[in-house]
Chain A
Amino acid sequence: MTRHSLVLAAQSNDPATRSRAIEAIAAAYWRPVYKYVRMKWNIAPEDAADFTQEFFTRLLEKEFLDSYESSKGRLRTFLRTCADRLFMNQERDSKRLKRGVGSAHLSLDFIEAEQELARELRSGTPEDSFDKEWVRSIFVLGLARLQAICESGGKLIHFELFERYDLEDADPKPSYAQLATEFGLATTDVTNYLAFARREFRRCVLEQLREMTTSEEEFRREAQALLGVKLT
């Protein structure tokens, strides 16, 4: 089965292909890596930001990803292990880079990540936090896809409804009738538009996940990890 895998592209010998792929991987993983190192080693925000940039620079230089084999484990577990190894090597060699030196050219909003970290309830292990952040990143990227699809398909109102009903942190959520009034729609339209947006969101997230994995087997494992959690 032919699949467009970012991981395979990141292992490419073509620098442009590799760079694009690493940027996409970084978009999904920089928050998990940043928050993981902050939690696990309790290092300063500036050091964690430098470490994260350094980590993705190493990825770009093919230092890590060339040794990745999907048959031996999940990409996210592999990357977390790489982060551990890089940190311990740096500690051992006392060659920690000074702030801003040797950083990759990734534009990452560490200030926002730091604000999130301050707001979030710190429960569980750093490893749990890494996985949780990974899910959050996949959802954020899935939402960006959904927004692009809705915009190009003339269905922006579907996305806006989804944003208003499912993405806002309001409690209680607005009712469908309230949304119908607010958007000037029939209540049945609100129901149908939201069903469309949720269906497309699910598809976008799974597409995103498929790109982040290298085999069908890994994709199914990750999809199950994402979908197979019991609801209470």
Chain B
Amino acid sequence: MKSLSDRVVARLHADMQLPDLTGTRYNLLQYLACGGMGSVWLAEDTVLKRRVALKVLDLAAPADGLDVRLLREARILARLEHHGIVPVHDAGTLADGRAFCCMKYVEGQTLAQQIATLNLPDRLRLLERIAEPLDFAHARGFIHRDLKPDNVMIGAFGEVLVMDWGLAKVGVTSLEGGEAEIATAVQTTQHSLRVTGQGIVLGTRGYMSPEQARGDIEVDHRSDIFSLGAILTFMLTGSAPEELAASGTVPRPLRAICEKAMAADPNARYQSGREMTADITHYLNGEPVSAYTEGLLERSGRVFVRHRTAVVLVAVYLIMRVLFILFARR
């Protein structure tokens, strides 16, 4: 066989990457992104005439169980119907043997991409909207385990969606039928994973809790609270969570909220997303936060800021009153 020109090699290279959608209801539109396990494509659902995102593995029947993981992720998403969690539409195997998962196509940016455009109150309100679907998942026995700014999408109309549930842990109470089998069959080899003597470590350094990093088997929903604290730190400092101590610009109550969420001991953390966001709401309203004991001066300053108009009016009244008395004595 004769050799191939550079252009033909490039064309074949592109062909090799295209998912084979023969026999499916999808038409390929464009490449979107690639990750550790495969790539994501924009496609058209020809029956419903809508755009969808197709997550497709690189290889058919991969030896590391990635196909099992993708199916598992699809099943988890199918169970988590919440406006803050990306919905799954379909999952299966393509003609070329590669596993795929069809999800809602979210037009927008990741939190990591959009953070610089938001002011402080908007950032804090955003965190409240990330915590809400997490609480929903926790109540159903699911733990995300890979929460980070890249896994939070902000849609074109401001909707916030928690993505990538591929590493989620399924609580025993939420398992039905063969799901327990799927949950235990998972093997992981992504770059973000490493194996320790105690178990398989899943997650992303900096955003995963200490117990998760140790590979503890008994990781619970408070591991996600740690990640939420790490995300808040990122939102406040614009840098990695480890940089919190070095950053002098974060207001003390917010720093305390971050520190409490990221406490090494899960018992010392907020016990739910709602508890953490309650503190954030208090901060936004100029009220004391549970994570921080303020001094007299700080409290006075906060009260002044919160009731500025009333304080000014009272002060003006008092000054007028004093002046009136002084003039009256003359």
A residues at B contact (CB < 8 Å): 1, 31, 112-113, 116, 119-121, 132, 135-136, 139-140, 143-144, 147, 166-169, 192, 195, 198-199, 201-203, 205-206, 216, 220, 223-224, 226-231
Contact = CB atoms under 8 A, between A and B. Distances in A.
A202 B8 contact: no
B11 interface: yes
B64 interface: yes
Count chain B CB atoms within 10 A of each CB in A192, A220, A223 and give the residue with the most. A220
Contact of B58 (A31, A144, A223): A223
B14 interface: yes
B12 A166 contact: yes
A220 B16 contact: no
Nearest to A196: B22
Contacts of A143: 1, 4
B7 A198 contact: no
Contacts of B114: none
Given A199-B95, A206-B59, A220-B62, A227 B8 contact: no
Task: Give the top 10 A-B pairs by smallest Cβ distance, nearest first.
Answer: A231-B31, A195-B22, A199-B96, A216-B63, A144-B1, A169-B5, A227-B58, A199-B20, A136-B9, A198-B15
Contact of B4 (A121, A140, A203, A224): A140
A180 B282 CA distance: 69
A224 B58 contact: yes
A210 B48 CA distance: 39
Contacts of B8: 166-169
Nearest to A140: B1
B96 to A, nearest CB: 5
A228 B35 CA distance: 9
Interface residues of B, number: 28
A119 B6 CA distance: 10
30 contacts: A31-B3, A112-B2, A112-B3, A119-B5, A136-B9, A139-B4, A139-B13, A140-B3, A140-B4, A143-B1, A143-B4, A144-B1, A166-B11, A167-B12, A169-B5, A169-B7, A195-B22, A199-B20, A199-B96, A201-B12, A202-B15, A205-B16, A220-B64, A226-B13, A227-B17, A227-B59, A228-B58, A229-B13, A229-B17, A231-B31
A101 B16 CA distance: 41
Nearest to A197: B15
Interface of B: 1-9, 11-18, 20, 22, 31, 34, 58-59, 62-64, 95-96
Contacts of B63: 1, 216, 220
Contacts of B31: 230-231
Given A135-B13, A230-B34, A121 B96 contact: no
A76 B97 CA distance: 27
Contacts of B59: 206, 220, 223, 227
Contact of A195 (B9, B11, B20, B62): B20
B17 A121 contact: no
Given A195-B22, A228-B58, A121 B6 contact: yes
Contact of A231 (B3, B6, B14, B20): B14
A31 B4 CA distance: 12
Contacts of A135: 9, 13
Contacts of A199: 20, 22, 95-96
Contacts of A31: 3
Contacts of B17: 227, 229, 231
Nearest to B66: A220
Contacts of A166: 8, 11-12, 15
A43 B18 CA distance: 40
B1 A226 contact: no
Contacts of A202: 15-16, 20, 96
Contacts of B6: 120-121
Contacts of A116: 3
Contacts of B64: 220
Given A135-B9, A220-B64, 18 more contacts: A1-B63, A135-B13, A143-B4, A166-B8, A167-B4, A167-B12, A192-B22, A198-B18, A198-B20, A199-B96, A202-B16, A202-B20, A202-B96, A223-B58, A226-B16, A227-B16, A228-B34, A229-B17
